[in-house]
Structure 1
Amino acid sequence: MLPDYPFATPPAAGETFEVSPGIHWLRMPLPFALNHINLWLLEDDAGWSIVDTGFALDTVKACWQQILARLPSTPLGGKIARIIVTHFHPDHLGLAAWLQEQTGAPVCMTLGEYLTAHAVWHEVGGHGNQPMLQQFRAHGLDADRCAALERRSGAYNRGVPSLPTHYQRLFGGDRIAIGGHRWQVRIGFGHSPEHAALYCAELGVLISGDMLLPKISTNVSVFAVTPLADSLGDYLESIDRYRELPPETLVLPSHGLPFHGIENRVDALHAHHQERLQVLEEHCNTPRSAAELLITLFPRDLDTHQTMFAMGEAIAHLNRLEHAGRLLRLQDDQGRVRFVRKAAAAAAT
């Protein structure tokens, strides 16, 4: 089934739109080039379940206050039963603690996302701006762009000004009862440590978070704390598991429009990444760093925020090629990392 988009117009900020019985779509602003996030409200007799919370902006808080004040009544009124967070990124977790304070509802997350959020927020255990800068310098990023990234220090905490200090843990395979239906927790990797998507077979709906987006490709990065990780391999393996879902499944993504056509989208993402991998390999006949290859992967001007994601993604693609045996990693005495095609390296010896 080719992708199709049953809802052409998203709801305005502060408004809701019912996409399936008991499933309401919200859209909140983001302060980036990617200027929105989709959030979801699931109706139940025990109260509403919120799926993701938005970036910590006053405008987003105002939208939430507007929505909470006029939620359609359940038998328990406008009560919030739970706040489900798909992963730790600021546009998803940003207002979880605030909403928890406002509503008294528990926050539900996987262990990997909860602990990573705390590690990034406190910049411990290899997480934070300084380890990232050290990684990017090793991969060839120049002083000016590193300095610009250093000036962004604390960006995560601005998007997530406070964190939940207790939560209900989600496990892969959990089935959460909401609105007389069962929502299965489906774990994915590569975009974040333990991303939780939600699938309801009875309704034929997948809340995919950032794991499956309709038009843009999900950012897949390698982080300083796991420098040799095959994040792209993990991501592609994760989205392959969506092929088992029925083709008529309605996918509710975090960005873009709801769509049908899972298998076609998974195929397109595989093709996109395979093409990028081939191009990178062809550019590594001589040793090249991730920073030198940014223009190859992203042939456009990048702002500082985009540079951060682009470096992580370039390293992820180079690591994938290394794991596949197509590139060799070279590291000099100063820790500088470059990659070269195996065939080119063999011919030079």
Structure 2
Amino acid sequence: MATHYQRALIGDEGLTPTSSEGLTFPFGDRAPQPGELLTIAPGIRWWRVPMSGPLKHVNGLILDDGADELLAIDTGTASPRSTEAWRTILEGPLAGKRVTRILGTHMHPDHIGLAGWLSRRSDDAPILMTRTEWLMARMLSADARPEVPEEQVAFWRGAGWDAEQVATASKGGFSNFAKMIARLPLGYVRIRDGEVLRIGGADWRVVVGSGHSPEHACLLDEERRILIAGDQVLPRISSNISLHANEPGADPLGDWLASIERFRELPDDLLVLPGHGDPFYGLHARLDALEREHRDRLDALVAHMTEPRRAVDCFGQLFRRPIGPDVIAMATGEALAHLRHLEVTGRARREVRDGIWWYSRA
């Protein structure tokens, strides 16, 4: 079983489908087939990188970046399926062209897993990322060890895991993150919020969001009204928002809600290109639905606190699916993110008894 870090980082999907009401999907049921690149605007091609797991693929984008030069956005995991898919398009529809830059929207393995491999295959093409995402990826890939740190075990126990759940999660050691990404180069190219990248003949402004990951980069082409959204805005599922042992005092849900407010300042008529799912119109409707979902969950948790609750006692109020060993780490991270936000906003308080965290109405 994956550790808490791994499951939360691998699983970009939330545990609950959300409303796509108000969205329109300009390509309908038309999605790229294996090995196919689908042109969605001049100089922008969409393809699906296959991978294991419930989402089955991640959306990759190939942008023209010169006469025979390309910029690749998001790569899939370091797995035989994703690698073979890359070879197929590089030797097929992209034959005769060169990948000269690689951009990772954020640090999760389904988005940067093959960035290092593709860089080396492409004459050391530079990798562009925000600094926090790059450093987190480097840290997690370097911190693989056979034993789970006591701080992580205490985090699980604090959330209410029993001894069997802790023992099961500990069997795989700590952070197999490195196994899901190809070795990253030592250096990278930093991109910053507000910076304008010239890609081909177009200007793309970097718009940073947070909550799902710490410094997630989106790209906005204001002239053509296109937003490359990665996992910051998905059309039919909620991105995983989790609290982690490496920053237990953080408020990732607060960061997520603040990012929603910031993204509302963007035009509503953008074509949104998400990291998973289909391109869509209706950015503001989607942001409204995402905010509403999380605020409803927060209210449900407060109503559930008729007596002190642990994170594991809150799964039924947050998720529509049973929580088994395969998703308990992700569910725990999401539950703690919501409980922590209630604590930060003064709606709940936390008491520690025998290492277990109990949450009550404030």
Superposed pair shares fold, TM > 0.5:
yes
Match of residue 90 from structure 2: 68
Partner letter of residue 49 of structure 1? L
Match of residue 110 from structure 1: 130
The alignment of Structure 1 onto Structure 2 pairs a total of residues equal to 335
Distance 1:152 1:324 in 2: 36
Match of residue 346 from structure 1: none
Once the 2 structures are TM-superposed, how far is the Cα of residue 306 of structure 1 from its aligned partner? 2.0
Percent identity between the aligned chains? 40
Distance 1:198 1:263 in 2: 17
Match of residue 305 from structure 2: 284
Partner letter of residue 255 of structure 2? D
Distance 2:273 2:153 in 1: 34
Match of residue 231 from structure 2: 210
Is 1:45 aligned to 2:66, yes or no?
A: yes
Is 1:295 aligned to 2:297, yes or no?
A: no
Question: Which of 299, 310, 313 does residue 331 from structure 2 map onto?
Answer: 310
Q: Quick check: 20-29 or 139-148, which moved more?
A: 139-148
Match of residue 274 from structure 2: 253
1:191-242 per-residue CA deviation (whole Å, 9 max, x = no partner) reads 1111111111112111101100001001011111211211101011112222
Partner letter of residue 33 of structure 2? A
Match of residue 166 from structure 2: 146
Distance 2:30 2:149 in 1: 37
Question: Which of 59, 73, 81 does residue 81 from structure 2 map onto?
Answer: 59
Question: Which of 90, 115, 128 does residue 96 from structure 1 map onto?
Answer: 115
Partner letter of residue 107 of structure 2? F
Distance 1:97 1:323 in 2: 38
CA-based RMSD of the aligned residues comes to 1.8
Match of residue 357 from structure 2: 337
Distance 1:92 1:131 in 2: 28
Distance 1:157 1:232 in 2: 27
**Per the alignment, in what secondary structure is the counterpart of residue 339 of structure 1?**
strand
Match of residue 3 from structure 2: none
Distance 2:256 2:161 in 1: 25
Once the 2 structures are TM-superposed, how far is the Cα of residue 129 of structure 1 from its aligned partner? 6.8
Distance change >3 Å, CA 21–CA 152, structure 1 → 2: farther
**Per the alignment, in what secondary structure is the counterpart of residue 185 of structure 2?**
coil
Distance 1:130 1:215 in 2: 37
Distance 1:13 1:303 in 2: 32
Contiguous gaps of at least 5 residues in structure 2 = 1-20
Distance change >3 Å, CA 116–CA 140, structure 1 → 2: same
Q: Is the 8 A contact 2:273 2:279 kept in 1?
A: yes
Once the 2 structures are TM-superposed, how far is the Cα of residue 44 of structure 1 from its aligned partner? 2.1
Q: Is the 8 A contact 2:157 2:355 kept in 1?
A: no
Once the 2 structures are TM-superposed, how far is the Cα of residue 303 of structure 1 from its aligned partner? 4.3
Q: Quick check: 152-161 or 246-255, which moved more?
A: 152-161
Match of residue 327 from structure 1: 348
Contiguous gaps of at least 5 residues in structure 1 = 343-349
